[in-house]
Amino acid sequence: SQQGEEDPQALSIQEGENATMNCSYKTSINNLQWYRQNSGRGLVHLILIRSNEREKHSGRLRVTLDTSKKSSSLLITASRAADTASYFCATSTGTASKLTFGTGTRLQVTL
């Protein structure tokens, strides 16, 4: 079953604009991760935020985590055409070492 649900399912923006994707999950987590998947490729890890963290930055990426609302957001600033991909959140829970992936947001960045 899906732990995370991304919103929106699809997003189309122009190059230079910011893109915001949201993820909601159901149970308490150890950490939440965001991954990118280019068409026809495997997933690539972008950033990890722990349950005791509220915000994290990596280059043009900004991730926030609100454990009270069981939600996270991924902000990509100054988007580029190369950012076109699907973005997934994934949660780690309990003592298990596995991740549960959300349904993904398809981002299209046009010139």
Q: How far apart are CA 14 and CA 35, in angstroms?
A: 21
Nearest distance in Å: CB 111, other proteins: 27
Contacting residue, 2, 14, 27, 58, with other proteins by CB under 8 A: 2
Give the CA-trace dihedral at 75, 76, 78, 80, to 10 degrees: -150
Nearest distance in Å: CB 35, other proteins: 8
Main-chain dihedrals φ then ψ at residue 82, nearest 5 degrees: -70, -10
Q: Contacts with other proteins in 78-97 (CB under 8 A)?
A: 88, 92, 96-97
Q: Which is nearer to other proteins, 16 or 94 (CB)?
A: 94
57 binds other proteins (CB under 8 A): no
52 binds other proteins (CB under 8 A): no
Confirm if 74 and 83 have CB atoms less than 8 A apart.
no
The type of residue at 27 is T
Q: How far apart are CA 78 and CA 68, in angstroms?
A: 29
- Chain contacts with other proteins (rule: CB under 8 A): 2, 31, 33, 41-45, 48, 88, 92, 96-104
